[in-house]
Structure 1
Amino acid sequence: MQLMGLRAIAPGPFTSTKAPEHKVYPYMLRDLKITRSNQVWSSDITYIPVMGNFMYLCAIIDWYSRKVVAWSLSTTLDAEFCVSCLERAIARYGAPEIFNSDQGSQFTSEEFIKILEKNKIRISMDGRGRFLDNIIIERLWRSLKYELIYIQEFVSVPELRKGFMTWFESYNKERFHQALGYQTPDEIYELDKAA
């Protein structure tokens, strides 16, 4: 396979390590009817292979409109890149009512939780190993990887960052979603905010 330039599509490094003494928050989205933008945001981290190493991508998505409200790229799995992603999202779009994530140490860090609490955002967390609890962002990762990462090799971090900028902009402004009545995330988000 290597001689032919092929590589297997396989799971990468484990990105969700629980902080040792973090508070466990309940999962609040089960049976919740999501009816408006900024009602629920969720976040997750995925790994991105680049130049024989990995980079880590954090994204925050609005569940109602499917709009990616912020994303951040890092060479490490520290909490800071998730914190800055959250701060940018809130500064640009205001605070959601509920924020859902897994129980990874980045999302259970003291600094991350303080920002949520300061903005009076209710905290929801997936059950351990329950990726379906955060299915909206898991679907985003699938689209991103199959439409960009698996088909294009990035040779530098600036090139990767530019690729993400283009892809996320297209996803928000041009991607029609069947679940949204064949409208784009931006259209749904803006219509809802104008109402």
Structure 2
Amino acid sequence: MYLHAILDNFSRRILAWRLKDTFETGTTAELLKEAAKGLPENTVPSAVMDSGVENVNGAVNELVSDGTIQRILAQVDIVESNSMIEAWWRQLKHQWLYLNELDSANSLRKLIDFYVEQHNSVVPHFAFQGQTPDEMYLGNGAKVPVDLKEKRATARAARLAQNRALSCDLCRAKTSEPALVSIQNNTS
């Protein structure tokens, strides 16, 4: 099985993905077109990718030639790697797929679909102060960091009040005893 995915570097949203039974070099070009559908007209997105055969082939070269995308080869055209998608692959495998039974292409497809949905729209991202990739990509989560900050302050105040209100027998015994006075002998 071959899994391909396009990740938006700004929002970390998975824009398109496909699971294939066989390796096909044209899959990347199909996904790049699909991922670019939501962009404003006359926008030429930059695609950071490694120099594997799935990314450097006739179909992708054609997209570069006709101005559909600008291809940037990681660690060739730029010093940086394509670490964001690599991190996502690692999370998908180790935090989800390897924990489940991968007994058929259909079950694998369902597991990936669920994970992508959760990644995009449910799981908040630390780098975005609690916003999900969908909220970052669609621009509708600006209120999330403010709401979370208010909720943290409210929860902290409630915890402090609750902790200060607690009392145990040991604490009551200490507060009912007379205060200890320190006496120093001054021998000179």
Higher RCO structure, 1 or 2 (CA under 8 Å, sep 6+): 1
Give the AA of the match of 1:150: Y
Q: CA RMSD in A?
A: 2.4
**Residue aligned with 2:96, SS:** helix
Q: How does 1:165-184 map to 2 (within 5 A)?
A: 165-184=113-132
* Distance (whole Å) between structure 1 residues aligned to residue 103 and residue 79 of structure 2: 30
- Is 2:98 the counterpart of 1:155? no
- The unaligned stretches of length 5 or more in structure 1 are 1-54
- C-alpha separation in 2, matches of 1:131 and 1:180: 25
Q: Is the 8 A contact 1:116 1:122 kept in 2?
A: yes
Secondary structure at 1:150's aligned position in 2?
A: helix
Of Structure 1 and Structure 2, the greater strand share is in 1
Contact 1:127/1:133 (8 A) holds in 2: yes
Q: State yes or no: 1:58 paired with 2:4.
A: yes
Alignment size in residue pairs: 138
Shift of 1:127: 2.6
TM-score by length of 2: 0.66
TM-score after normalising by structure 1 = 0.64
Distance 1:89 1:119 in 2: 15
Give the drift of 1:155: 1.4
SS in 2 for 1:59: strand
- In 2 relative to 1, CA 125–80 (structure 1 residues): closer, same or farther, beyond 3 Å? same
Q: Distance in 1 between matches of 2:130 and 2:116?
A: 18
Are residues 1:103 and 2:48 paired?
A: no
